[in-house]
Structure 1
Amino acid sequence: MEIVNPNVTLREDRNILVITHLSQYLDFVTGFGGLVVPLVLWLTTKDSVIGMNEHGKAVLNFQLTLILYLIIGIPGILLFGLGILLLVFAGLLSIVMPAINAIKASKGELPSYFGTIRFIS
Protein backbone atom coordinates (compact mmCIF):
# COMPACT_ATOMS: atom_id res chain seq x y z
CA MET A 1 0.00 0.00 0.00
CA GLU A 2 1.47 3.30 -1.04
CA ILE A 3 0.71 6.44 0.91
CA VAL A 4 0.66 9.60 -1.15
CA ASN A 5 1.13 12.90 0.63
CA PRO A 6 -1.16 15.46 -1.00
CA ASN A 7 0.70 18.33 0.71
CA VAL A 8 3.90 17.79 -1.29
CA THR A 9 3.96 19.72 -4.54
CA LEU A 10 6.39 18.83 -7.27
CA ARG A 11 8.53 21.64 -8.60
CA GLU A 12 10.87 21.81 -11.55
CA ASP A 13 14.36 22.74 -10.40
CA ARG A 14 17.02 21.97 -12.98
CA ASN A 15 19.70 23.72 -10.91
CA ILE A 16 19.53 21.11 -8.15
CA LEU A 17 19.76 18.37 -10.79
CA VAL A 18 22.90 19.99 -12.23
CA ILE A 19 24.38 20.35 -8.74
CA THR A 20 23.67 16.68 -8.09
CA HIS A 21 25.71 15.68 -11.13
CA LEU A 22 28.53 18.16 -10.52
CA SER A 23 28.82 17.21 -6.84
CA GLN A 24 30.48 14.00 -8.01
CA TYR A 25 33.65 16.02 -8.51
CA LEU A 26 33.95 16.20 -4.71
CA ASP A 27 35.61 12.79 -5.00
CA PHE A 28 38.72 14.56 -6.25
CA VAL A 29 38.73 16.88 -3.20
CA THR A 30 37.50 14.75 -0.30
CA GLY A 31 37.67 11.19 -1.62
CA PHE A 32 34.13 10.29 -0.59
CA GLY A 33 31.98 13.39 -1.11
CA GLY A 34 31.03 12.35 -4.62
CA LEU A 35 28.88 9.60 -3.16
CA VAL A 36 27.65 11.21 0.07
CA VAL A 37 26.47 14.58 -1.28
CA PRO A 38 24.41 13.17 -4.21
CA LEU A 39 22.95 10.59 -1.82
CA VAL A 40 21.83 13.30 0.61
CA LEU A 41 20.47 15.47 -2.22
CA TRP A 42 18.57 12.54 -3.70
CA LEU A 43 17.09 11.42 -0.38
CA THR A 44 15.96 14.90 0.62
CA THR A 45 14.51 16.09 -2.70
CA LYS A 46 13.40 12.99 -4.63
CA ASP A 47 9.76 13.55 -3.71
CA SER A 48 9.68 17.31 -4.30
CA VAL A 49 11.74 17.90 -7.47
CA ILE A 50 10.63 16.62 -10.87
CA GLY A 51 13.23 14.21 -12.27
CA MET A 52 15.35 13.99 -9.11
CA ASN A 53 14.50 10.33 -8.58
CA GLU A 54 15.87 9.34 -11.99
CA HIS A 55 18.91 11.62 -11.82
CA GLY A 56 19.74 10.65 -8.24
CA LYS A 57 19.55 6.94 -8.98
CA ALA A 58 21.75 7.39 -12.05
CA VAL A 59 24.39 9.29 -10.07
CA LEU A 60 24.41 6.75 -7.24
CA ASN A 61 24.59 3.81 -9.63
CA PHE A 62 27.49 5.50 -11.42
CA GLN A 63 29.37 6.17 -8.18
CA LEU A 64 28.86 2.59 -6.96
CA THR A 65 30.05 1.29 -10.34
CA LEU A 66 33.20 3.43 -10.12
CA ILE A 67 33.90 2.04 -6.65
CA LEU A 68 33.50 -1.49 -8.02
CA TYR A 69 35.87 -0.69 -10.90
CA LEU A 70 38.46 0.52 -8.38
CA ILE A 71 38.02 -2.56 -6.19
CA ILE A 72 38.59 -4.80 -9.22
CA GLY A 73 41.27 -2.64 -10.86
CA ILE A 74 43.72 -2.25 -7.98
CA PRO A 75 44.32 -5.99 -7.45
CA GLY A 76 44.20 -6.38 -11.23
CA ILE A 77 47.37 -4.31 -11.47
CA LEU A 78 49.23 -6.72 -9.22
CA LEU A 79 47.82 -9.88 -10.76
CA PHE A 80 47.72 -9.18 -14.47
CA GLY A 81 49.01 -5.67 -15.03
CA LEU A 82 45.85 -4.99 -17.03
CA GLY A 83 44.09 -3.44 -14.06
CA ILE A 84 45.75 -0.15 -14.97
CA LEU A 85 43.55 -0.03 -18.08
CA LEU A 86 40.44 -0.40 -15.93
CA LEU A 87 41.64 2.37 -13.60
CA VAL A 88 42.35 4.70 -16.53
CA PHE A 89 38.91 3.91 -17.96
CA ALA A 90 37.25 4.61 -14.59
CA GLY A 91 39.24 7.84 -14.23
CA LEU A 92 38.19 9.10 -17.64
CA LEU A 93 34.57 8.21 -16.98
CA SER A 94 34.62 9.99 -13.62
CA ILE A 95 35.83 13.19 -15.29
CA VAL A 96 33.73 13.22 -18.47
CA MET A 97 30.35 11.69 -17.57
CA PRO A 98 29.27 14.04 -14.74
CA ALA A 99 29.85 17.08 -16.98
CA ILE A 100 27.92 15.55 -19.89
CA ASN A 101 24.99 14.61 -17.67
CA ALA A 102 24.99 18.00 -15.93
CA ILE A 103 24.52 19.59 -19.36
CA LYS A 104 21.73 17.10 -20.11
CA ALA A 105 20.06 17.92 -16.79
CA SER A 106 20.19 21.64 -17.54
CA LYS A 107 18.37 20.94 -20.82
CA GLY A 108 15.76 18.76 -19.10
CA GLU A 109 16.97 15.46 -20.58
CA LEU A 110 17.32 12.15 -18.75
CA PRO A 111 20.82 11.06 -17.65
CA SER A 112 22.77 8.25 -19.27
CA TYR A 113 26.04 7.06 -17.76
CA PHE A 114 28.18 4.79 -19.94
CA GLY A 115 29.29 1.51 -18.37
CA THR A 116 27.06 1.77 -15.32
CA ILE A 117 25.70 -1.21 -13.43
CA ARG A 118 22.18 -0.61 -12.11
CA PHE A 119 22.40 -1.33 -8.39
CA ILE A 120 19.40 0.88 -7.57
CA SER A 121 16.45 0.53 -9.90
Structure 2
Amino acid sequence: MQRTDNQLLVITHLSQLLDYVTGFGGLIVPLVLWLSNKESVINMDTHGKSILNFQLSIIIYSLISIPLIFFFGLGIITLIAIGIIAFVFPIVNAIRVSNGDEVNYPLSLQLIK
Protein backbone atom coordinates (compact mmCIF):
# COMPACT_ATOMS: atom_id res chain seq x y z
CA MET A 1 0.00 0.00 0.00
CA GLN A 2 1.32 3.40 -0.95
CA ARG A 3 1.46 6.31 1.45
CA THR A 4 1.73 10.07 1.03
CA ASP A 5 5.04 11.41 2.30
CA ASN A 6 5.73 14.96 1.11
CA GLN A 7 8.58 15.33 3.61
CA LEU A 8 10.49 12.47 2.01
CA LEU A 9 9.88 14.00 -1.43
CA VAL A 10 11.25 17.33 -0.17
CA ILE A 11 14.30 15.58 1.29
CA THR A 12 14.82 13.75 -2.00
CA HIS A 13 14.84 17.04 -3.92
CA LEU A 14 17.12 18.76 -1.40
CA SER A 15 19.53 15.82 -1.29
CA GLN A 16 20.80 16.97 -4.69
CA LEU A 17 22.54 19.80 -2.86
CA LEU A 18 24.95 17.33 -1.25
CA ASP A 19 27.25 18.04 -4.20
CA TYR A 20 27.85 21.52 -2.76
CA VAL A 21 28.54 20.21 0.76
CA THR A 22 30.45 16.97 0.24
CA GLY A 23 31.46 17.16 -3.41
CA PHE A 24 29.44 14.07 -4.27
CA GLY A 25 26.16 12.44 -3.36
CA GLY A 26 23.84 14.66 -5.38
CA LEU A 27 23.13 11.77 -7.71
CA ILE A 28 23.68 8.80 -5.40
CA VAL A 29 21.43 9.79 -2.48
CA PRO A 30 18.36 10.66 -4.62
CA LEU A 31 18.94 7.41 -6.55
CA VAL A 32 18.95 5.36 -3.33
CA LEU A 33 15.89 7.19 -1.96
CA TRP A 34 14.03 6.70 -5.24
CA LEU A 35 14.89 3.01 -5.60
CA SER A 36 14.03 2.20 -2.00
CA ASN A 37 10.74 4.14 -1.87
CA LYS A 38 9.29 4.23 -5.39
CA GLU A 39 6.81 1.46 -4.61
CA SER A 40 5.76 2.70 -1.17
CA VAL A 41 5.47 6.51 -1.54
CA ILE A 42 2.94 8.16 -3.84
CA ASN A 43 4.64 10.16 -6.63
CA MET A 44 8.15 9.05 -5.60
CA ASP A 45 8.63 7.30 -8.94
CA THR A 46 7.79 10.46 -10.89
CA HIS A 47 9.88 12.75 -8.69
CA GLY A 48 12.81 10.33 -8.59
CA LYS A 49 12.91 10.09 -12.37
CA SER A 50 12.74 13.89 -12.68
CA ILE A 51 15.60 14.33 -10.22
CA LEU A 52 17.79 11.70 -11.86
CA ASN A 53 17.13 13.12 -15.33
CA PHE A 54 18.05 16.57 -14.03
CA GLN A 55 21.25 15.35 -12.34
CA LEU A 56 22.34 13.37 -15.41
CA SER A 57 21.60 16.40 -17.59
CA ILE A 58 23.72 18.62 -15.33
CA ILE A 59 26.60 16.13 -15.62
CA ILE A 60 26.28 16.00 -19.42
CA TYR A 61 26.09 19.80 -19.74
CA SER A 62 29.14 20.16 -17.48
CA LEU A 63 31.16 17.68 -19.54
CA ILE A 64 30.23 19.54 -22.71
CA SER A 65 31.22 22.87 -21.12
CA ILE A 66 34.72 21.78 -20.09
CA PRO A 67 36.19 21.79 -23.63
CA LEU A 68 34.45 25.11 -24.27
CA ILE A 69 36.75 26.75 -21.70
CA PHE A 70 39.42 26.86 -24.41
CA PHE A 71 37.10 28.78 -26.75
CA PHE A 72 37.07 32.34 -25.44
CA GLY A 73 36.15 31.29 -21.90
CA LEU A 74 32.63 30.32 -22.96
CA GLY A 75 32.89 27.17 -20.88
CA ILE A 76 33.49 29.16 -17.70
CA ILE A 77 30.29 31.12 -18.24
CA THR A 78 28.28 27.99 -18.95
CA LEU A 79 29.75 26.18 -15.92
CA ILE A 80 28.75 29.10 -13.69
CA ALA A 81 25.24 29.06 -15.16
CA ILE A 82 25.01 25.29 -14.67
CA GLY A 83 26.15 25.68 -11.05
CA ILE A 84 23.46 28.28 -10.38
CA ILE A 85 20.75 26.21 -12.06
CA ALA A 86 21.82 23.06 -10.19
CA PHE A 87 21.61 24.97 -6.90
CA VAL A 88 18.37 26.90 -7.42
CA PHE A 89 16.02 24.35 -8.99
CA PRO A 90 16.23 21.65 -6.30
CA ILE A 91 15.29 24.30 -3.72
CA VAL A 92 12.45 25.68 -5.85
CA ASN A 93 11.08 22.21 -6.51
CA ALA A 94 11.37 21.20 -2.84
CA ILE A 95 9.23 24.23 -1.99
CA ARG A 96 6.77 23.28 -4.73
CA VAL A 97 6.50 19.72 -3.40
CA SER A 98 5.91 20.95 0.15
CA ASN A 99 3.08 23.14 -1.18
CA GLY A 100 1.60 20.27 -3.20
CA ASP A 101 2.47 21.80 -6.58
CA GLU A 102 3.94 20.14 -9.67
CA VAL A 103 7.72 20.17 -10.08
CA ASN A 104 9.61 21.25 -13.17
CA TYR A 105 13.28 20.88 -14.03
CA PRO A 106 13.90 22.93 -17.19
CA LEU A 107 16.62 21.88 -19.64
CA SER A 108 16.37 18.34 -18.26
CA LEU A 109 16.99 15.57 -20.79
CA GLN A 110 14.49 12.70 -20.55
CA LEU A 111 17.01 9.88 -20.20
CA ILE A 112 14.99 7.80 -17.71
CA LYS A 113 11.37 7.34 -18.69
Do the structures match in fold with TM over 0.5?
A: yes
Q: How does 1:4-43 map to 2 (within 5 A)?
A: 9-43=1-35
2:34 & 2:46 partners in 1: Cα distance?
9
1:96 & 1:56 partners in 2: Cα distance?
18
1:86 & 1:115 partners in 2: Cα distance?
13
**Aligned pair 1:119/2:111, yes or no?**
yes
Supply the AA of the counterpart residue of 2:45. Answer: N
Paired residues of 1:54 and 1:110 also in contact (CA < 8 A): no
> What's the secondary structure of 2:100's corresponding residue?
coil
Supply the AA of the counterpart residue of 1:44. Answer: S
Give the total of aligned pairs.
113
Stretches of structure 2 that go unaligned for 5 or more consecutive residues are none
Stretches of structure 1 that go unaligned for 5 or more consecutive residues are 1-8
Q: How does 1:36-55 map to 2 (within 5 A)?
A: 36-55=28-47
**Aligned pair 1:73/2:59, yes or no?**
no
Query: 1:52-74: per-residue Cα shift (whole Å, max 9, x none)?
Result: 01111111011001101110111
> What's the secondary structure of 2:70's corresponding residue?
helix
Query: 1:28-74: per-residue Cα shift (whole Å, max 9, x none)?
Result: 12222000000000000001000101111111011001101110111
1:104 & 1:20 partners in 2: Cα distance?
13
> What's the secondary structure of 1:97's corresponding residue?
helix
> What's the secondary structure of 1:74's corresponding residue?
helix
Cα RMSD (Å) of the superposition?
1.0
Could you tell me which of 21, 42, 58 is aligned with 2:50? Answer: 58
Aligned to 2:79: 87
Shift in Å, 1:79:
3.5
Identity %: 54
Runs of 4+ aligned structure 1 residues displaced above 3 Å come to none
Shift in Å, 1:111:
1.5
For the pair shown, which has the larger CA radius of gyration, 1 or 2?
A: 1
